[in-house]
């Protein structure tokens, strides 16, 4: 089997890249080790920048997002018992959209199927080979038989634990990482959101976030110790703890109910450099991870797919390697800005082991400055809605 671009991973990064390449007439095959149902069962982010929505529109996968997504003009920062609204649209002219990553993935899957493109699910033991030569290939096992795809390029879109980055020689890659000393305990419930916009809460007991997936489905998070387990957090305990961290107005409007999903996620900042190794490129979580505080993970995957698709289109249409040569530096420039913003939001809103006395006062001073300064408000809004790409 042969194709121009072999894509490892059928998450949003791989699926979006595949559609963008198809729109430019570039043949591609996607390999995914899981089933479609498993991929769609992963609960992930739910906030899209305008640039990400525009890319979905570009590949014909944005119709349902425009119909069902919730457009938000602002967010609220809560601290000291009060809420303060950040009007992002007034500050930047841009908005964000609440639309679950699962829905994005489904829309891209359907678009790919409608276009008759090849996605090979349950492809185990995928391995990139010879990507430092002009003849890369990807081997895999399907239905017990060893198979192989010859290609011009490999796109590693297989996530943080995927094989693509792991296949690079250690001396050829450098990684940067910060592990945060807490996790996010999140629940999904069939209840109306407590507010029509997201509420980010700084509290002495720890961070809390009020968000949603729709007008009838809510998503809530509380900061918790990394060694906590789900069975320590029955629904009643979660709701009680959330209420302790919210302002009184939010508590009065909070509708509780049984959780339909519950999980604890660790937080980390991670970047791998470079993002190109000969004829293999990394994109999305394979190259970088950000804490979810800034809502950047899915959107960085989308911008990576955009940069890589543009570079490969230039290679095939214009016979120029300038775009693929610049891909890593171009993508990383945006990645590091998002990593900085996500780290800053996390640092400002969470309770750290040293957030006592001086540290707590610094956080409150920072929050007070952000909501009281037009320049600071604009800076937060500009990064939150997404830097241009």
Whether 384 is catalytic: yes
d(CA 261, CA 180): 23
Is the Cβ–Cβ distance between 26 and 313 less than 8 Å?
A: yes
Let me know if 99 is a catalytic residue.
no
Give, in degrees to the nearest 5, the angle at Cα 52 between 47 and 55: 150
Measured CA distances, 150 to 15, 84, 135, 141, 153 (Å): 19, 55, 7, 15, 9
Report the alpha-carbon distance of residue 245 to residue 207 in Å, rounded. 8
* Distance (Å, whole) CA 258 – CA 64: 28
- Catalytic option among 140, 200, 307, 315: 200
Choose, from 292, 307, 327, 350, the residue flagged as catalytic.
Answer: 292
Q: Which of 22, 72, 203, 288 is catalytic?
A: 72
Angle at 370 between CA 348 and CA 44, to 5 degrees: 50
Whether residue 72 lies in the annotated active site = yes
Q: What three-state secondary structure class fits 55?
A: helix
Question: Is 388 part of the annotated catalytic residue set?
Answer: no
Give every CB contact of residue 100 below 8 A, 6+ residues apart in sequence: 44, 45, 46, 213
C-alpha to C-alpha distance for 329 and 351, rounded to whole angstroms? 34
Which residues, other chains included, contact 42 with Cβ-Cβ below 8 Å and sequence gap of 6+?
Answer: 101, 102
Is the separation of the CB atoms in 200 and 366 below 8 Å?
A: no
Q: In sequence order, what are the residues at sequence separation of 6 or more whose Cβ sits closer than 8 angstroms to the Cβ of residue 320? A: 314
Catalytic residue, chosen from 22, 296, 350, 351, is 296
Query: 192 an active-site residue?
Result: no
Catalytic residues: 72, 200, 292, 296, 384
């Amino acid at each position: 089997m042969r194709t121009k671009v072999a894509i490892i991973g059928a998450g949003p990064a791989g699926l979006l890249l595949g559609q963008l390449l198809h729109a430019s007439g570039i043949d591609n095959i996607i390999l995914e080790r899981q089933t479609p149902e498993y991929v769609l069962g992963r609960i992930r982010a739910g906030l899209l920048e305008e640039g990400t929505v525009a890319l979905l529109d570009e590949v014909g996968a944005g119709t349902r997002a425009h119909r069902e997504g919730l457009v938000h003009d602002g967010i609220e920062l809560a601290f000291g018992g009060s809420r303060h609204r950040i009007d992002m649209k007034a500050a930047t002219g841009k908005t964000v959209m609440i639309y679950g990553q699962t829905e994005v993935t489904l829309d891209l899957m359907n678009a790919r199927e409608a276009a008759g493109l090849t996605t090979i699910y349950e492809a185990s033991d995928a391995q990139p080979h010879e990507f430092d030569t002009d003849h890369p290939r990807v081997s895999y096992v399907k239905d017990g038989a060893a198979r192989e795809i010859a290609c011009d390029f490999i796109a590693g879109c297989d996530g943080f634990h995927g094989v693509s980055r792991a296949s690079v020689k250690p001396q050829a890659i450098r990684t940067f990482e910060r592990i945060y000393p807490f996790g996010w305990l999140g629940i999904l419930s069939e209840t109306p959101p407590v507010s029509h916009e997201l509420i980010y809460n700084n509290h002495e007991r720890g961070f809390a976030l009020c968000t949603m997936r729709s007008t009838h489905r809510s998503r809530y998070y509380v900061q918790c110790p990394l060694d906590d387990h789900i069975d320590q957090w029955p629904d009643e305990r979660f709701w009680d703890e959330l209420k302790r961290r919210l302002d009184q107005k939010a508590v009065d409007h909070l509708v509780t109910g049984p959780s339909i999903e519950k999980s604890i996620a660790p937080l980390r900042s991670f970047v791998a450099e470079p993002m190109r190794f000969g004829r293999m490129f990394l994109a999305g979580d394979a190259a970088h991870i950000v804490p979810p505080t800034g809502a950047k993970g899915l959107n960085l995957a989308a911008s990576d797919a955009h940069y890589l698709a543009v570079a490969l289109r230039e290679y095939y249409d214009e016979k120029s390697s300038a775009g693929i040569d610049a891909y890593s530096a171009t993508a990383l420039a945006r990645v590091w800005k998002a990593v900085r913003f996500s780290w800053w939001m996390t640092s400002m809103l969470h309770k750290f082991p040293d957030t006592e006395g001086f540290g707590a006062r610094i956080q409150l001073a920072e929050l007070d400055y952000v909501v009281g300064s037009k320049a600071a408000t604009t800076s937060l809004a500009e990064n939150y809605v997404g830097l241009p790409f």
